C-alpha cells in the first residue's frame, strides 16, 4: 500500500512529540543524544513493529549538514520544525545529464544583491510533490575544477518559478519528480556554509545517505517475509529455495556486521566513509536479491498491485484478485522499484572505485 503525505506526517509528528523523529541528533540540537547502538536498536524496533519508514531527506540527511555547517540562525530556523515533523524536505542533486557524475551539474545560482537567482532542472527528486523545502546543489562558479564551483542552497518549494512534474513509474505511482527552476529568487541567507564549498558538504551528506540505503533492519523484515511467502506458496520444503533463503540470511547477517562496524567507527570518532561505501554496495545488492527471490517464489502471481481489484462489487475486501494471491500482490512493483538502489546515492560502480582508491590503495 502506498502511503500518503498525511500518513507519513502523522507518524512523524507522533515521533516528534516524543523527541524520537530526531533520534540521530545530539542533545544540543534537540535530539535525544542516543549512542550509536541506541539508534540502531530504535531502528530495529521500528522495523520489527512494521512502522512506516520515513523519508530520510529532512531529519537524517539535511539536518546533519545544517548542524555541522549552518549558522546559529539557520539552525534555530530549520531544526526545530524538522524535529517536530512539521516540514517535509526533498533532495535536489541529480539532473538529466548529471547523476553519477554529479560534479557536472548545470543548475546555476547567480548572486544578485541579497538573493541568488536559480535556473535549471533536477530530476528523480523523491517526494518533491510533497516537499516544503528542497536542499540543492547549484553551480555558482564556472572556472576551475567542476567540484570547486558548487554551492549548497536551501530553497522554499513555494517560491515563484519552481515547477514540479511527477514521473510515473512502472507500478503507476509517482514517487519521483522533475523539478524546474525558472529565475527563482533564493535569499542569500539560505546558503549553507561558504559559497563554492558545497561539494564538501555533499560528500558529508552522502555518507549518511549510503548508510541509510543499507537498511539492514528492513532487509531482516523482508527476509522473514520471504519465509512466510514460501510457506504460503508451498515451496518452503524445496531444497533449492531453502538454499537461496539461507544464502540471503548469511548476506543479511554480514550486512548487519558492516553496520555495526560503522557504528563502532562513529563511537570511536573515526571517519566511517569507506565503510559507508561498502554498506551502500552490499545493502543495495541484498535488497535487490530479496525482491528477486520473492518474484521467483510467487512466479506468475507476482503481478503489480491493483488496489481496486481487492474489493468486490459491494466494496468488500477480497483475499485474491485476478492474476494472483493477495499476499503476493506488491511483489512485481517492489522488484522493479528496487532496481534503483544500485544507482541512487552514488552508483555501485563509483562506490567500488572509491573503495579501490581509499581502502585498497
Q: How far apart are CA 150 and CA 98, in angstroms?
A: 13
Q: Would residue 304 count as lying in a domain?
A: yes
Helical ranges in 60-168 per DSSP H: 63-69, 72-84
Same domain, 287 and 228: yes
Q: Indicate the residue among 88, 114, 135 that finishes a domain.
A: 88
**Greater pLDDT, 306 or 25:** 25
Q: Are residues 94 and 186 in the same domain?
A: yes
In a domain? residue 47? yes
The pair phi, psi for residue 151, each rounded to 5°, is: -125, 165
75-110 pLDDT, tens digit per residue, is 999 999 999 999 999 999 999 988 777 888 999 999
Tell whether 54 and 119 lie within a shared domain. no
Per-chain mean pLDDT for the chain = 85
Query: pLDDT value at position 324?
Result: 47
Residue 234, domain member (yes or no): yes
Residue 96 in any domain: the answer is: yes
User: What CA–CA distance (Å, rounded) separates 94 from 126?
Assistant: 11
Q: Is 209 a catalytic residue?
A: yes
For residues 255 and 333, membership in a common domain is answered with yes
Do 167 and 77 belong together in one domain? no
Over 70: is that where the pLDDT of 306 sits? no
Asked whether residue 37 carries a pLDDT value surpassing 60, the answer given is yes
Provide the pairing of β-strand 191-192 with 150-156: antiparallel
Whether residue 272 is contained in a domain is answered as: yes
Q: Is residue 339 part of a domain?
A: yes
pLDDT tens by residue, 105-153: 999 999 999 999 999 999 999 999 999 999 999 999 998 888 899 999 9
When divided into structural domains, the chain yields a total of: 3
Over residues 301-310, the mean pLDDT reads 58
pLDDT at 254 over 50: yes
- How many CB atoms are located within 10 Å of the residue 49 CB? 8
Q: Is the pLDDT of residue 272 over 60?
A: no
Q: Are residues 236 and 330 in the same domain?
A: yes
Where in the sequence is the domain holding 140, given as residue range(s)?
90-196
| Given 175, 195, 209, 244, the catalytic residue | 209
Position 209 in a domain: no
46 plus 101 within the same structural domain: no
97 in the same domain as 186: yes
Average of pLDDT values for 291-316? Answer: 67
Asked whether residue 180 falls in the same domain as residue 113, the answer is yes
pLDDT single digits (tens) 214-244:
788 888 888 988 898 888 888 999 999 999 9
- Quickly state the pLDDT bin for 169 (edges 50, 70, 90): confident
Burial string for 315-342 (b: 16+ CB within 10 Å, else e) reads eeeeeebeebbebbbbbbbbbebbebbb
pTM of the predicted model as reported, rounded to 2 decimal places: 0.82
Q: Is the domain of 116 the same as that of 78?
A: no
pLDDT at 171 over 70: no
CB 155, CB 136: distance < 8 Å = yes
Cα–Cα nearest to 133, from 179, 90, 178, 83: 90
Where among 24, 53, 88 does a domain terminate? Answer: 88
> What is the per-residue pLDDT for 321?
42
Q: Residue 286: is its pLDDT beyond 70?
A: yes
Do 228 and 350 lie in a common domain? yes
- On whether both 238 and 158 belong to a single domain, the answer is no
Alpha helices (runs of H) in 130-272, residue ranges in sequence order:
198-214, 216-232, 239-268
Q: Is the pLDDT of residue 278 over 90?
A: no
- The CATH number of residue 105's host domain is 2.40.110.10
Q: Give the pLDDT of residue 51.
A: 85
Q: Give me the CATH number covering residue 281.
A: 1.20.140.10
| Chosen domain end from 88, 114, 131 | 88
Residue 54's domain is classified under what CATH number? 1.10.540.10
* Assigned domain for 208 exists: no
Amino acid at each position: 500500500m502506498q502511503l500518503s503525505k498525511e500518513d507519513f506526517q502523522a507518524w512523524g509528528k507522533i515521533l516528534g512529540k516524543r523527541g524520537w523523529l530526531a533520534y540521530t541528533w545530539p542533545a544540543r540540537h534537540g535530539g535525544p543524544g542516543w549512542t550509536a547502538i541506541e539508534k540502531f536498536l530504535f531502528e530495529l524496533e521500528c522495523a520489527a513493529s512494521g512502522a512506516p519508514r520515513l523519508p530520510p531527506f529532512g531529519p537524517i540527511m539535511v539536518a546533519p549538514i545544517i548542524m555541522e555547517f549552518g549558522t546559529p540562525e539557520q539552525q534555530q530556523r530549520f531544526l526545530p520544525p524538522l524535529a517536530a515533523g512539521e516540514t517535509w524536505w526533498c533532495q535536489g542533486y541529480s539532473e538529466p545529464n548529471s547523476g553519477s557524475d554529479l560534479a557536472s551539474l548545470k543548475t546555476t545560482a547567480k548572486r544578485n544583491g541579497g538573493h541568488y537567482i536559480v535556473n535549471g532542472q533536477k530530476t528523480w527528486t523523491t517526494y518533491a510533490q510533497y516537499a516544503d523545502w528542497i536542499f540543492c546543489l547549484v553551480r555558482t562558479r564556472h572556472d576551475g575544477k567542476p567540484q570547486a564551483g558548487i554551492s549548497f542552497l536551501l530553497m522554499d518549494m513555494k517560491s515563484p518559478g519552481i515547477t514540479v512534474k511527477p514521473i510515473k513509474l512502472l507500478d503507476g505511482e509517482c514517487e519521483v519528480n522533475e523539478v524546474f527552476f525558472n529565475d527563482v529568487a533564493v535569499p542569500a541567507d539560505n546558503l549553507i556554509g561558504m559559497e563554492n564549498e558545497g561539494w564538501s558538504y555533499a560528500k558529508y551528506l552522502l555518507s549518511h545517505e549510503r548508510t541509510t540505503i543499507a537498511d539492514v533492519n528492513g532487509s531482516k523484515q523482508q527476509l522473514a517475509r520471504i519465509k512466510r511467502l514460501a510457506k504460503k506458496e508451498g515451496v518452503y520444503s524445496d531444497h533449492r529455495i531453502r538454499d537461496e533463503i539461507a544464502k540471503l540470511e548469511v548476506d543479511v547477517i554480514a550486512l548487519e556486521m558492516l553496520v555495526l562496524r560503522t557504528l563502532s567507527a562513529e563511537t570511536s570518532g573515526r571517519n566511517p566513509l569507506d565503510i559507508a561505501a561498502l554498506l551502500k554496495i552490499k545493502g543495495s545488492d541484498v535488497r535487490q536479491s530479496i525482491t528477486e527471490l520473492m518474484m521467483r517464489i510467487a512466479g506468475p502471481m507476482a503481478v503489480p498491485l491493483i488496489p481496486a481489484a481487492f474489493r468486490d462489487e459491494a466494496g468488500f475486501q477480497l483475499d485474491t484478485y485476478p492474476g494472483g494471491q493477495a499476499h503476493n500482490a506488491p511483489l512485481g512493483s517492489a522488484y522493479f522499484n528496487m532496481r534503483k538502489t544500485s544507482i541512487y546515492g552514488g552508483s555501485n560502480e563509483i562506490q567500488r572505485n572509491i573503495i579501490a582508491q581509499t581502502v585498497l590503495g
